[in-house]
Amino acid sequence: MLDIAELRSAYGESEILHGMSMSVPKGQIVAIMGRNGMGKTTLMKTLMGIVPTKSGSIRVGDKDVTAMKPHERVASGIAYVPQGRMIFSAMTVQENVETGLTVTGEKTVPPDIYELFPVLLEMKNRRGGNLSGGQQQQLAIARALASKPKALLLDEPTEGIQPSIIREMARTLRRIRDERGLTIIVSEQVLSFALDVADRVMVIENGEIVHDAPREGIDEAKIARFLSV
C-alpha cells in the first residue's frame, strides 16, 4: 500500500535519509522507533512532501506521489498528524475537523468520525486550544481522518500524554485500522505503546532502518537496546 524505495532527503546539503526502502501493506500498523534526532520526523515530512525528496520514490497504492505537493499527496490518500499535533487553537473543534474536508469536497463532518471520538462531539463548539493534550491528539487524528486517507502517519502521538490515554489511543488506532483498512505508520519512542499498537516494529538510526521485525515474537530487549544506546 505504502511503498518507499531508495528514498533520500536532505535539509540543504545535509542528507538525513540515506536511501530508505520499506513496503507497508494495507491494514498494517508499523511503529518506527528511534532515539531523538535519528530521522523519524524527517521521514514523515518527506512522505508528506514538506521536506523535498532528493531521489527515490514514494507510492500510495498504485499512485506515485513523489513529485506531488503536500496537498496533492493528501488528496492521493496520505494523512499526517504532526509532532505536537498542530491543531488550530483559536478555531472550534468542529472547524478544526472541517479543515480536513477540503480534499473530499464534503461540507459536513461524517458522523463516523465523531463516533470514534465522542468527546469531540461533546466539545465541538469549544476552541481547540481549550482541550487537554489527549483531546487535542484525538482532534488531530479526527482531522486527519476527515480527508479519508488510505495511509495515516502519526509523529510521536504519545508525547506529553498520560499513560491511561496512551492505552486508549492504541485501542483507537487498531479500531481505525480494522474498520477502515488503513495503513498506519507511527513514529514512537515509548516501547510499551509501540508493542501495544503495532503489527511490526522498525528501528531507525541515522536515517537508515537497522531493524525490522513482526510484533509477534519480537525481541523486546533488542529493541530496548537500540533505544538506549
Ligand X SMILES: Nc1ncnc2c1ncn2[C@@H]1O[C@H](COP(=O)(O)OP(=O)(O)OP(=O)(O)O)[C@@H](O)[C@H]1O
Q: How far is the CB of 35 from ligand X (least distance, A)?
A: 7
Length of the chain: 229
Identify the residue among 38, 81, 139, 141 touching ligand X (CB under 6 A): 38
Spatial distance between the Cα atoms of 63 and 57, rounded to a whole number of angstroms: 11
User: Is residue 52 a contact residue for ligand X (CB under 6 A)?
Assistant: no
Tell me how far apart the alpha carbons of residues 41 and 46 are, in angstroms, rounded to a whole number: 8
**CB–CB of 4/23 below 8 Å?**
yes
| 113/198 with CB nearer ligand X | 198
Cell digits of residue 2 = 505504502
Q: Which is nearer to ligand X, 79 or 156 (CB)?
A: 156
Question: Contact with ligand X (CB under 6 A): which of 2, 20, 34, 202?
Answer: 34
Q: At what angle are helices 133-145 and 163-180 packed, to 10 degrees?
A: 10
Stretch that binds ligand X, among 32-40, 86-94, 160-168, 195-203 (CB under 6 A): 32-40
Cell of residue 54, nine digits: 532528493
H or E element at residue 175:
helix 163-180
What is the closest distance, in whole angstroms, from the C-beta atom of residue 40 to ligand X in the complex?
4
Window of 33-41, 63-71, 191-199, 218-226 that interacts with ligand X by CB under 6 A? 33-41
C-alpha grid cell, residue 94? 468542529
Grid coordinates given for 204: 531507525
Residue 16 interacting with ligand X (CB under 6 A)? yes
Collapsing DSSP states into helix, strand and coil, what is residue 105?
A: coil
Query: What does 127-148 look like in DSSP terms, one character per residue?
Result: BGGGS-HHHHHHHHHHHHHTT-
Beta bridge partners of 108: none
Nearer to ligand X, 40 or 148 (CB): 40
Of the pair 47, 173, the CB lying nearest ligand X is at: 47
Interacting stretch for ligand X, rule CB under 6 A, among 23-31, 37-45, 112-120, 214-222?
37-45
Footprint of ligand X on 71-110 (CB under 6 A): 83
By the rule CB under 6 A, 40 interacts with ligand X: yes
Size of site (CB under 6 A) for ligand X: 12
Q: Applying CB under 6 A, which of residues 6, 23, 25, 37 lies at the interface with ligand X?
A: 37
Contacts of residue 75, Cβ cutoff 8 Å, sequence gap at least 6? 103, 147
The CB-of-87 to ligand X minimum distance in angstroms stands at 18
Chain residues that interact with ligand X, rule: CB under 6 A = 11, 14, 16, 34, 36-42, 83
